[in-house]
Amino acid sequence: MSALTLTHEPVTGIRHGKLGMWIFLASEVMFFSGFFTAFIILRNSNLAAFAKGATELSWPLAALNTVVLIGSSLTMAMAILSLENGKKQRFQLFMFITFLCACTFLVVKYIEYTTKFHHGIYPSTSTFFAMYFIMTGFHGIHVLGGMIPIGWMLSRSFSKKGYTDYGRVEILGLYWHFVDLVWIFLFPVLYLIF
């Protein structure tokens, strides 16, 4: 019975939920590795076409999105710290800003996509844009996926009981920083280094 009541992995002392999130993040690294490797191979055999594709992207919008995501990572870290210290209102404020940043990111992404569609650029246009849409698309889905628990925890924190599960917010934070991390690599790889 005692094994069932353990909250931490016995050898390493890492909390189960956190261990699970790190294993998931390791698998996520491998998921995006596939795309990045495919991108490297296709780019190297098709350098001129990729360079041409990259110049059609709007790097200022991507730079704006980089700042937005970095900011949301900071507010997420601050939200976790606030909850750890029992400062409920600060937690709500920082979670709200994080949620707003995520919305901003997706709106900018939407503008980028629709601009491309208006110019007749689709995933089928070229290999570069196939990679661009699939990589940023999957990243966008990750942002959207992160917004669901952020919004849920935020709304729960307004209930009478409040939201006190510090461990879960910490785990969500790990995921959110990972989403930021993927964008940190997508930004130079897709928009800048040609």
Partner 1 sequence: MAAHLSTEEIQRAYIKVFSGLLILTVLTVIAAKGLHFPESWGAIGHILHVVIGLVIAVLKAWMVVYIFMHIKFDNPYIRVFIYIPLFLFSVLVFALTVLGGSTL
Least spacing, CB of residue 176 vs partner 1, in Å: 9
Contacts of 159 (CB under 8 A, 6+ apart): none
Report yes or no: 131 and 42 within 8 Å, Cβ to Cβ: yes
User: DSSP state, 87?
Assistant: -
Q: What sign has the CA pseudo-torsion 42, 44, 45, 48?
A: positive
Q: Does 177 bind partner 1 (CB under 8 A)?
A: yes
Of 191, 163, 155, the closest CA to residue 56 belongs to 191
Please tell me the distance from the alpha carbon of residue 153 to that of residue 62, in angstroms, as a whole number: 28
Least spacing, CB of residue 117 vs partner 1, in Å: 25
Contacts of 19 (CB under 8 A, 6+ apart): 9, 12
Among the listed ranges 30-38, 123-131, 135-143, 147-155, the one in contact with partner 1 (CB under 8 A) is 30-38
Contacts of 149 (CB under 8 A, 6+ apart): 168, 172
Question: Cβ closer to partner 1: 85 or 114?
Answer: 85
Q: Does 168 bind partner 1 (CB under 8 A)?
A: no
Contacts of 141 (CB under 8 A, 6+ apart): none
Taking the CB of residue 160, how many other CB atoms lie within 10 A of it?
4
Which residue from 2, 5, 7, 44 is in contact with partner 1, where contact means CB under 8 A? 44
Q: Does 30 bind partner 1 (CB under 8 A)?
A: yes
Kindly identify the residues of this chain, within the stretch 51-80, that bind partner 1 according to CB under 8 A: 59, 63, 66-67, 70-71, 73-74, 76-78
Which residue from 33, 55, 114, 155 is in contact with partner 1, where contact means CB under 8 A? 33
Least spacing, CB of residue 130 vs partner 1, in Å: 18
Least spacing, CB of residue 152 vs partner 1, in Å: 21
Question: Cβ closer to partner 1: 107 or 192?
Answer: 192
Place of tokens 């290999």: 127
Token pair for 90? 């600060």
Residues interacting with partner 1, by CB under 8 A? 12-14, 18, 22-23, 25-26, 29-30, 33-34, 36-37, 40-41, 44-45, 59, 63, 66-67, 70-71, 73-74, 76-78, 81, 84-85, 170, 173-174, 177-178, 180-181, 184-185, 187-189, 192-194
